[in-house]
Amino acid sequence: MIPSIWASFPLFNFLQTLNLDQTFFQVYDSRKNTLGAGMIPKEILQLSTPEKLQLVEELWNDIALHPNEIRLSTEQETELDRRLEFHQNNPGAGIPWEEVKSKLRPSH
């Protein structure tokens, strides 16, 4: 079953059109459970939204300085292997990046 948290994401319907199976959503949801609000210090929760965004940016930049320290979980590796195998067996099944971008951008 797809976790209910996904229904609140604006791009949820778009993600569904990509035919992602439930493994994608379950891998995300399992990570959410390990990084819950209980692990966030109160001081961070009390920051304003712009301050939280600044903190996230600074943390992301710091993480990017150490790409070799980023490890995938077994579930993520399994899912990536499954997707690669699917792509290799069905090379025409994908959607070109330009088409994906055009669907994400509002048309004027």
pLDDT tens digit at each of 108 positions of the chain: 445 555 555 555 555 555 555 555 555 444 454 444 567 788 888 889 999 899 999 999 998 898 888 888 999 999 999 999 999 999 888 888 888 888 887 765
- CA distances (Å), origin 38, targets 22, 33, 42, 52: 26, 10, 9, 16
Domain assignment of residue 11, yes or no: yes
Domain assignment of residue 18, yes or no: yes
Domain assignment of residue 101, yes or no: no
| Same domain, yes or no: 2 and 27 | yes
- Length of the chain in terms of residues written: 108
Domain assignment of residue 73, yes or no: no
Domain assignment of residue 83, yes or no: no
Question: How many domains does one find in the chain?
Answer: 2
* Domain enclosing residue 11, as ranges: 1-35
Query: pTM for the whole thing?
Result: 0.40
pLDDT of 17 reads: 53
Domain assignment of residue 62, yes or no: yes
DSSP structure class, residue 105? S
